[in-house]
């Protein structure tokens, strides 16, 4: 007779092996999980005043034009701007819509997902990985989640998302 702890460990190991490698198909149908995460991390407060001139000027220096005072697109009062930094590389910068202070954001391999009314940023979001289809998603493209507090990004678990790193 096998010990119950060993039996559980063997069962978990088999379940993990069955889910590996994580394919693009594993990221299909995660829209509800994504929206649930965004809702769980609401923006601290919404900014309703126009974008400060110094913030617009700062982004202009970076070669980015803004669509106007409605440019706030992240965490209630911030502007998240993305830049290409090479193959499978995007850098993200957050600019305070009231004062123009710039904060370095996450670097991603396959884009990001964010909302004006949420402080959550998802690097390599599931919707961007479905094109892998039945092929394995490289572990460096596993989605990662972080929450912005106005100063820094803090990593949190991406609840409900397959984790290709667990297969390594």
In this prediction, residues 65-81 reach a mean pLDDT of 74
pLDDT averaged over the chain? Answer: 80
| Residue 130 near residue 28, CB atoms below 8 Å | yes
Distance CA 37, CA 42 (A): 9
The whole-number pLDDT of residue 50 equals 54
The whole-number pLDDT of residue 16 equals 44
Coil, helix or strand at residue 167: helix
- Name which residue leads in pLDDT, 134 or 98: 134
Count of C-beta atoms within a 10 Å radius of residue 49: 10
Sole residue written with tokens 């919707």: 127
> Binning pLDDT at 50, 70 and 90, where does residue 82 land?
confident
Distance CA 59, CA 99 (A): 12
Q: What would the pLDDT profile of 31-44 be if each residue is shown by its tens digit?
A: 999 999 999 999 97
DSSP per-residue letters across 88-155: TEEEEEEEETTT--EEEEEEESS-EEE-TTB-EEEES-HHHHGGGTTSBPPGGG--EEEEE-SS-EEE
Please determine, for residue 75, whether its predicted confidence score (pLDDT) is greater than 70: yes
């Amino acid at each position: 007779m096998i010990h119950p702890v060993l039996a559980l460990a063997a069962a978990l190991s088999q379940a993990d092996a069955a889910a590996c490698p994580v394919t693009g198909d594993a990221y299909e149908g995660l829209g509800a999980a994504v929206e649930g995460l965004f809702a769980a991390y609401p923006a601290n407060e919404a900014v309703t005043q126009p974008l400060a001139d110094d913030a617009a000027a700062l982004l202009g220096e970076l070669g980015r034009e803004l669509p106007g005072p409605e440019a706030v697109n992240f965490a209630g009062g911030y502007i998240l701007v993305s830049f290409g930094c090479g193959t499978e590389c995007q850098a993200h910068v957050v600019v305070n819509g009231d004062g123009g202070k710039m904060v370095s954001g996450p670097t991603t391999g396959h884009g990001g997902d964010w909302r004006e009314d949420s402080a959550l940023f998802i690097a390599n979001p599931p919707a961007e990985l479905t094109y892998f289809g039945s092929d394995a998603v490289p572990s460096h493209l596993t989605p990662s989640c972080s929450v912005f507090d106005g100063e820094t990004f803090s990593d949190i678990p991406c609840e409900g998302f397959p984790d290709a790193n667990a297969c390594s």
